[in-house]
Amino acid sequence: MWSIAVLLSGALAISWRTGRTTGLIASVLAAVSFRLLCSDLANISMVLSFLLLCAALSWVLASYRHQWNEMQTERDEMRIMVDHAPLGIALLDKNRRVLRCNPTFREIYGWNEEDIVGRTPPLPESQRESWAGLIEHLQSGKSFVNIETLRARKDGSRFYARISGSPIFSHSAVLIGLVGFIARTDDGRHSDLLELKNLESLVQSSSEFMCVAQLDGRTFFLNDAGKDMIGLSDEAEINDMPLERFFDYEDQDRIKEILRLLPLQRIGLSSQTIHLKQFQTGGRIAVSCSFHVISDPLTQEPSSLACVAKSSGPDDAWGQEDRCDEEVFRAFFHNAPIAIVLVDTAGGPFESNALFQEMLGYEVEELRQMRFGQLVHPEDSPAGRKLFLSLMEGKIGRYQVNKRLVSRNGEVLFTKMTVALMRDREGKPSYAISMVERVAQGSMR
C-alpha cells in the first residue's frame, strides 16, 4: 500500500507544481510504475482504476492550483492599484476606526502604518453632526460621493478634502463599516465648489432680500430672508419667475429697464425707493435696491444678475442702515472659513477678519495704519496696483490674481486673491472686498 500512496502523492505533487497536462502524464507513469511494482497483485482493472484515480485527482488539483494562481494575481494587482492610487482608500468601521488603509490615506492624515491601524483619525467638532448624517445615509444602503468637508491631521492641523464612502453590511443586514475614499482639494485648500457653498451660507445668514437671476431675468435663487419678506416659499414657483414680478406692478417696468441695461454697463446700479410685492397679504414693502452683474470667472463675461433689497425707512435712516450693514459684515467675517480684508479706495485695509490677521501676523489696528501695498511683495506690487486702480475707477467689477504677500516676520506667502468692488447707494465705488487663499508655490502663474 505504501507504493500506491507514494505514486499517487508524486503524481499529485507534479500536477500542483506544473499543471494539468504534465499531471496527466505523471498519472500515466504512476499507473505503469504501479503495474511494474505490483505485478503479482495488480491486474488490468486495478491499473486502470489507479490511472483514473490519479488522472482525476491530478486534474482537480491542477485546476484548483490554476484558480488559486489567478486569485493571487488579481489580489496582487488590486493591492498594487490600491497602494499606488492618488487618493486615500481605507476600510473603516462605522465609528471611523481604521481597519486597513493605503499609503496615500496615511500620508493625507499624517500617520504612519503602525499608528493608524486600529485608531480613529481626529474629526473637527464642526463636522461631527454632518458625519452622523452620513452614517444614517449609509445605514439606508446608499453611498455618498464627493462630499466637500473639513478634516484634521494627526497633529491637529486642518485641511479641506473631498470624501466618498460605500456601506458594508453583515449577513444580518447590519451596517458594520464602510470603504472610504478621501482626496485633498486644491493641495489641501478648499475648492471653488466649497467656496461657493460657504458664500451661499453667508448669503442665507443675511437678513436682506438677495436674489440671483439668469441674464434674461429668470430667477434661480432667492435666499430665505427674501422668501420670508415677500411671503413666497414654494421653490417651484420661485424658479424661473421673472425677477421683476417680485416687485409692485407700478415698479416692474423700471426693474425691467434696469435689468436690460445691467449686462451692457457691467456695473452695479442702485434704485433709491421701490416696492416689493407681499404675495400673502397683497401689500407693498418699500425697499432700496442695488443690482449687480455676476461675471464668469474664466471668461469674465456676464453670466447672471443679482439683486439685493433692504427695507427702506425715511431718507434720514441711511446712516442707520449702513451701520447695520457693518454689523452684518462683521458677523460674516467671524463665520467665513477664508481670510477676508476690506480695502478702501485709497488702498487702506480698514477691516479684516481673524484669519487674515493670523495669516499676516498683524493686529487689526496695525493693519488700519498701513497701506495694503506694504503687505505685497515688491515684484508683485505694480501689477496689483494697476488692477486695483481699474477696480476703483469702475472699469472692472472684480478680478482674481496670484500675489505674494509678506508677513510680519518676513515670510513670503503665496496667495490667490479674489477681489470684488462694492459701490455706495449712488453707484460710486466705495471699497473692495478681498478673499485671500494660501496656495502652493508651484501653482503661482
Domains annotated on the chain, with CATH: 2-76 (no CATH), 88-185 (3.30.450.20), 192-328 (3.30.450.20), 338-445 (3.30.450.20)
The set of residues, in sequence order, having a beta carbon less than 8 Å from that of 286 and lying 6+ positions away, is 273, 274, 275, 311, 312, 313
Report pLDDT for 52: 55
More confident of the two residues 354 and 411: 411
Q: Tell me the HSE value of 192 on the side-chain side, using a 13 A CA sphere.
A: 7
Tens of pLDDT, residue by residue over 385-434, are 889 888 888 888 888 999 999 999 999 999 999 998 887 766 778 888 88
Report pLDDT for 27: 53
Closest CA to 258 of 268, 250, 248, 249: 268
Rounded to whole angstroms, how far apart are CA atoms 111 and 84? Answer: 17
Average pLDDT over residues 35-60: 55
Tens of pLDDT, residue by residue over 132-173, are 889 998 999 899 988 888 888 888 888 888 899 999 998 888
| Percentage of the chain modeled with pLDDT above 90 | 12
Rounded to whole angstroms, how far apart are CA atoms 186 and 181? Answer: 16
Average pLDDT over residues 12-35: 54
Rounded to whole angstroms, how far apart are CA atoms 291 and 254? Answer: 12
Contact call for residues 399 and 322 (beta carbons, < 8 A): no
Rounded to whole angstroms, how far apart are CA atoms 129 and 398? Answer: 36
Share in percent of the chain as helix, strand, coil (round to 5): 45, 30, 25
Rounded to whole angstroms, how far apart are CA atoms 163 and 145? Answer: 7
pTM for the full model? 0.37
At 404, list the grid cell.
505674494
